[in-house]
């Protein structure tokens, strides 16, 4: 089998396509959650904590180097703790949303399995015919 043919078979397989769709939707969902956290949740929290913008929280390791004309020669080196806090909130909200979604799906699957278990499976055509033959043979003297 040629490489191109094998790759085409791999890429068009159902699971790969589903995975690609999931990744694309997950990326979009991540952007929505990031915006929700940064634009809706963090401003009130920052206001409660005294007007702090979390993305501005930095720990300076080395100051910027500036030449005589005021031009920055070397950028400051900082630990961006606020960005880490922001990303942690993003993660927690995404994790909670995914957990809720998985929990709902699991409960629906359990209900579906209970319904399937309640309905006895119908025997195949062969089994039905054999049952009829057996019953007819029992009736013979």
Residue 1: what pLDDT?
A: 67
Label residues 64-93 b or e (16+ Cβ within 10 Å = b): eeeeeeeeeeeeeeeeeebeeebeebbeee
Look up the CATH superfamily of 3-139.
Large-conductance mechanosensitive channel, MscL; domain 1 (1.10.1200.120)
Given a cut of 80, whether residue 16 has pLDDT beyond it is no
Given a cut of 80, whether residue 66 has pLDDT beyond it is yes
**Mean pLDDT across 93-111:** 85
**Mean pLDDT across 4-18:** 78
pLDDT tens for 35-49 read: 888 888 888 888 888
Global pTM reads 0.53
Higher-confidence position of 118 and 100 = 100
Instruction: Please tell me the chain's helix, strand, coil percentages from 3-state DSSP, rounded to the nearest 5.
Output: 70, 10, 20
């Amino acid at each position: 089998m040629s490489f191109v043919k094998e790759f085409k078979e791999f890429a068009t397989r159902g699971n790969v396509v589903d995975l690609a769709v999931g990744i694309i939707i997950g990326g979009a969902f991540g952007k929505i959650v990031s915006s929700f956290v940064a634009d809706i949740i963090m401003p009130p929290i920052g206001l409660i904590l005294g007007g702090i913008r979390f993305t501005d929280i930095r720990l300076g390791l080395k100051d910027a180097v500036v030449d005589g004309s005021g031009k920055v020669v070397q950028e400051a080196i900082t630990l961006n703790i606020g960005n880490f806090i922001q990303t942690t909130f993003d993660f927690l909200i995404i994790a909670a949303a995914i957990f809720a979604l998985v929990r709902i799906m699991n409960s629906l699957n359990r209900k579906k399995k209970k319904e399937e278990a309640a309905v006895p499976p119908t025997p195949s055509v062969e089994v039905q015919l054999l049952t009829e033959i057996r019953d007819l043979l029992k009736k013979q003297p």
